[in-house]
Amino acid sequence: MSQSPSESFEELLSVPEAARRLAVRESTIRAWLLARRISRVRLGRRCIRIPASEVQRLIEEGTIPARVRRQDACA
């Protein structure tokens, strides 16, 4: 089964959309772009989009697994 053109492209987010998904300020996203911490797609001279996979990668990198509590030996 072949994919339609819209299904073969990854979702691209604007800077404000990426900031909302990560619960950070737009200025933080722009700083990360300048530092090349996240990849981007440039659509013209001023239009920048961020792949949704980059936002997901940042979430996964920042996720700290919960601690597993050990049973007390004295109990």
Alpha-carbon distance of 54 to 17, in angstroms, equals 13
Q: Are 55 and 18 in contact (CB under 8 A)?
A: yes
- Asked whether residue 2 is domain-assigned, the answer is no
Residue-level pLDDT at 20:
96
pTM of the full predicted structure? 0.72
- Asked whether residue 18 is domain-assigned, the answer is yes
Domain containing 49: what range? 10-59
Greater pLDDT, 40 or 71 = 40
- Asked whether residue 75 is domain-assigned, the answer is no
Alpha-carbon distance of 33 to 73, in angstroms, equals 50
In this structure, the number of other CB atoms found within 10 A of the CB of residue 50 comes to: 25
In the chain, the number of structural domains is 1
- Asked whether residue 39 is domain-assigned, the answer is yes
What value does the mean pLDDT take over residues 56-70? 84
- Asked whether residue 69 is domain-assigned, the answer is no
- Asked whether residue 64 is domain-assigned, the answer is no
- Asked whether residue 14 is domain-assigned, the answer is yes
- Asked whether residue 29 is domain-assigned, the answer is yes
H/E stretch holding 15: helix 15-22
